[in-house]
Structure 1
Amino acid sequence: MIFVTTGTQKFQFDRLIKKIDELVGEKYINEKIICQSGFSTYVSQNFKSYSFMNSEKYNGYIKNCDLLITHAGVGTILEGKKYNKKILVVPRMEKFGEHVDDHQMQIAEGFYHKQLVYLCQNINNLYSDINETRDRTFSNYTFNNEKFVKSLENIIGN
Structure 2
Amino acid sequence: MIVFTLGTINFPFHRSVDWLNSLLESKLINEPVVFQHGTTPVNNLNHPLVTLHKSLTRYEMQDYIKKSSLVVSHAGQGSTRNLAELGASFILLPRLKRYGEHIDDHQLIFARQVEQFGIHYCTEYHQLVRLIRQRPLPYFGRLFEAPLLVEHLINHYQSLDASIYSKTTR
TM range (shorter): 0.7 to 0.9
User: For residue 31 of structure 1, what is the aligned residue in structure 2?
Assistant: 31
2:46 is the alignment partner of 1:45:
yes
Report which of the two structures shows the higher radius of gyration computed on alpha carbons.
2
Q: Report the number of matched residues.
A: 155
Q: Map Cα deviations across residues 67-121 of structure 1 (whole Å, 9 max, x no partner).
A: 1100101111111111111110010011111001111101111111222x21113
Structure 2 unpaired stretches of 5+: 163-170
Task: Point out 4+ residue stretches in structure 1 off by more than 6 angstroms.
Answer: none
The 5-angstrom pairing of residues 70-85 of structure 1 reads 70-85=73-88
TM-score when normalising by structure 1? 0.85
Distance 2:127 2:144 in 1: 31
> Which segments of 5 or more consecutive residues in structure 1 lack a partner in the other structure?
none
The 1:25–1:103 alpha-carbon spacing in structure 2 relative to 1, beyond 3 Å, is: same
Q: CA RMSD in A?
A: 2.3
Letter of the aligned partner of 1:9 in structure 2?
I
TM-score by length of 2: 0.80
Q: Report the Cα distance in structure 1 between the residues aligned to 2:151 and 2:41, rounded to whole angstroms.
A: 43
Residue pairs, 1:62-141, within 5 angstroms = 62-115=65-118, 117-132=119-134, 134-136=135-137, 138=139, 140-141=141-142
Percent of counterpart pairs with the same letter? 26
* Contact kept in structure 2, 1:84 and 1:140, CA below 8 Å: yes
Provide the residue aligned with 1:6 in structure 2: 6
SS of 1:20 mapped into structure 2: helix
| 1: CA distance, partners of 2:56 / 2:67 | 15
